[in-house]
Amino acid sequence: MTTEQLAVNTIKALTMDAVQRANSGHPGMPMGMADVGVVLWTKFLRVDPTDPTWPNRDRFVLSNGHGSMLLYSLLHLAGFGLTMDDLRRFRQWGSPTPGHPERLPELGIEMTTGPLGQGFGTAVGMAIAEAHLRAVFGSDLVSHHTYAFVSDGDLMEGIASEAASLAGHLGLGRIVYVYDDNNISIEGPTDIAFTEDVLARVAAMGWHTVDVDGHDRGALEEAIIEARAVADRPSLIAAHTHIAHGAPNLQDTAQSHGSPLGDDEIALAKEAMGWPVDSSFEVADEVYALFAEAMARGTEARHAWERRRDDVFVADTDVAAKWTSYWIPDPIVVGSLGYEVGASVATRQASGKALNAIAENAPYLLGGSADLAPSTNTLLDGAGDLQAGSPEGRNLHFGVREHAMAAAVNGMVAHGGLRAYGATFLVFSDYMRPAVRLAALMEVPSIFVWTHDSIFLGEDGPTHQPIEHLASLRAIPNLWVVRPADAGETAEAWELALRRTEGPTALVLSRQGLPVLDRSGKEGLVHRGGYVLRDGKDAVVVATGSEVTVALEAAEILARDGRSVRVVSLPCWEAFQAQDEEYRSGVLGIGLPAASLEAGSTLGWERFVGTGGLTLGIDRFGASAPLKRLAEEWGFTAELVAERIESWLEGQSAT
């Protein structure tokens, strides 16, 4: 038996053993893709276990993350710091081998996968990052491939079509995806639901495609060589495989997808491949040696890259400084953008101005919109379009593909060396949500710009008017949602987003003009999530975004009646929650009757106003009308808010 075959058998055996031991997991895919895994990892993938995060490594994404044992086996064999003991603890509490891969670049896990389609879309972002950085720094510094394994499920997902279309348009020739074309998904043979010609579909989107026997390693090698040679188009290699390859009774069955094979079937499979039946978690030295040799080539590639980099940096110290500024950016300071207090400025407009001011000094910042740049104000002046022929451009046109946009932004950021944003209307954040959640889970600091943030976008009506979105986004752990009240807060919100490195930030911005507030003495407080804008001792109103102005005006009206009402601007719940108790209670004025005011779902506001507090919001769908009429109908004018608070306060003192 060749060492290569022994390596394939080793992956199959490790997979069967680990899944059986955990009594849960997905043995079918790793067994079916073991041949592909060995070919790619020992012959092509340029990674270095002695320095897993070196910038110019190839990126490898296992989009069909249910087959995590394939990745864990490969990482273990390649010496990435996953021990045999870690494999034994597959799917156990605290192990680095959870059910689905969780991003940990230090261990060689480039992203979290499991939700099908996300790996497909995110890796497109990694390839965009590579193309852009290569154009900016030259191929001595950046030149690598992005590989992914994708499954039937990945390709059935809508996001894969969006992302494939985008990748084809951009001509991302460094993408090489291998499709685990096994005709099986959970409910049975794929022909119960999935009968299209997948290769014809992506070919029509501008991809290079090829069909191979996924167990013929020679043919796979040829196909990968061919795919790498296609420089102007992404490649999809359909590898015809057998799920649970080598399991005599369970090969080609849906049953092998997500259940342990069972001791008897494992014994038969091991016997059939000439493996000692009573051994488990065994790796022969020659298999380690095969991988060590391949990884040594990765280490040498890294050394060669470091030598080239040092030469470039010595020859041109500006490039050295620029490289450092991309990979280790200085903290952003926006400063005053020269607005006059009282001027009417939509926060989306202020965002566009802040973004452009920042981008001038932050060349590593790029992004775009899902066909709404003129509305989201996210175009970078003079930065050029990122297109196939101009990868150095920094304005991305994602097309009307919100989900792929979010995944691609995650991929660009996860790649390293860049910060990226994606923009659309807040109501369409629903079309991005799975990728936004994944950014939060991966702790990737993507930036999402969502404008037209309330019913006050007006005439477009309830289809375009967000209601539950703020509440539902705030419910995502580790996503920071910032809804600034005016132009000044907006600039600070961008600062906050860019300083954040441990997770994504959403900027939620108004379509309509809002008066620039007098925030003198309160600059920088957006970073603390919330602060007192106007002091008062009888009651407190906590508001965000466009409702802060309404709250201030209502407080003014109430003051005429002798009520002293404090107004708190609370642009970011999550930043506020991160403050110490003393700061928080100082701002909220614990003990005061408290009301919240936000043009959206009231869900969650009890957190700040208490269960006895008054929550002014909108718990129904919006309506198509001019915004003034909507404010009158639903009690959001300053007068109506003042009245509602006054009668509530009267009720309070009566009881």
Ligand X SMILES: Cc1ncc(C[n+]2csc(CCOP(=O)(O)OP(=O)(O)O)c2C)c(N)n1
Give the residues lining the site for ligand X (CB under 6 A): 28-29, 64, 66-67, 114-116, 151-153, 180, 182, 184-186, 243, 257
User: Which of Mg ion, ligand X, none has residue 127 at its interface (CB below 5 to 8 Å by kind)?
Assistant: none
Q: How far is the CB of 407 from ligand X (least distance, A)?
A: 12
If residue 513 lies in a helix (H) or strand (E), which one and from where to where? Answer: strand 513-515
User: Which of Mg ion, ligand X, none has residue 114 at its interface (CB below 5 to 8 Å by kind)?
Assistant: ligand X
User: Which of Mg ion, ligand X, none has residue 108 at its interface (CB below 5 to 8 Å by kind)?
Assistant: none
- CA distances, 112 to each of 109, 160, 227 (Å): 8, 16, 25
Q: Which residues pair with 213 in a beta bridge?
A: 240
Q: Which is nearer to ligand X, 434 or 545 (CB)?
A: 434
- In 460-605 the beta strands, taken as DSSP E runs, fall at 480-482, 505-508, 513-515, 531-534, 539-543, 565-569, 594-597
Residue type at 525?
Answer: L
Say how far apart CA 204 and CA 622 lie, in whole Å: 40
Residue nearest to Mg ion (CB): 152
495 binds Mg ion (CB under 5 A): no
Q: Which is nearer to ligand X, 431 or 456 (CB)?
A: 431
Residue nearest to ligand X (CB): 153
DSSP secondary structure code for residue 387 in this structure: B
Site string for Mg ion, 145-184 (x = CB under 5 A): ------xx-----------------------------x-x
Q: Which residues pair with 532 in a beta bridge?
A: 568
241 binds Mg ion (CB under 5 A): no
Q: Which is nearer to ligand X, 130 or 157 (CB)?
A: 157
Q: Which is nearer to Mg ion, 185 or 465 (CB)?
A: 185
What tokens appear for 305 in the block? 């890259």
Quick check: is 265 catalytic?
no
Q: Which is nearer to Mg ion, 186 or 400 (CB)?
A: 186
Q: How far is the CB of 388 from Mg ion (least distance, A)?
A: 31
Catalytic member of 102, 130, 265, 402: 402
Q: Which is nearer to Mg ion, 146 or 182 (CB)?
A: 182
Pick from 43, 10, 52, 41: nearest CA to 285: 10
Q: How far is the CB of 26 from ligand X (least distance, A)?
A: 7
Q: How far is the CB of 127 from ligand X (least distance, A)?
A: 22
Pairing of strands 208-213, 235-240: parallel
User: Which of Mg ion, ligand X, none has residue 530 at its interface (CB below 5 to 8 Å by kind)?
Assistant: none
What tokens appear for 141 in the block? 């510094």
Say how far apart CA 364 and CA 392 lie, in whole Å: 11
User: Which of Mg ion, ligand X, none has residue 116 at its interface (CB below 5 to 8 Å by kind)?
Assistant: ligand X
Pick from 547, 545, 500: nearest CA to 527: 500
Say how far apart CA 396 and CA 461 lie, in whole Å: 28
User: Which of ligand X, Mg ion, none has residue 115 at its interface (CB below 5 to 8 Å by kind)?
Assistant: ligand X
Binding-site residue total for Mg ion (CB under 5 A)? 5
- CA distances, 452 to each of 456, 507, 569 (Å): 8, 11, 19
Say how far apart CA 74 and CA 171 lie, in whole Å: 30
286 contacts 3 by C-beta, under 8 angstroms: yes
- Maximum separation of any 2 CA atoms in the chain, in Å: 91
DSSP assignment of 208-222, as one string? EEEEEETT-HHHHHH
Q: How far is the CB of 211 from ligand X (least distance, A)?
A: 17
Q: How far is the CB of 190 from Mg ion (least distance, A)?
A: 6
Using CB under 5 A, list all residues that contact Mg ion.
151-152, 182, 184-185
Give the residue numbers annotated as catalytic, written as ranges.
402
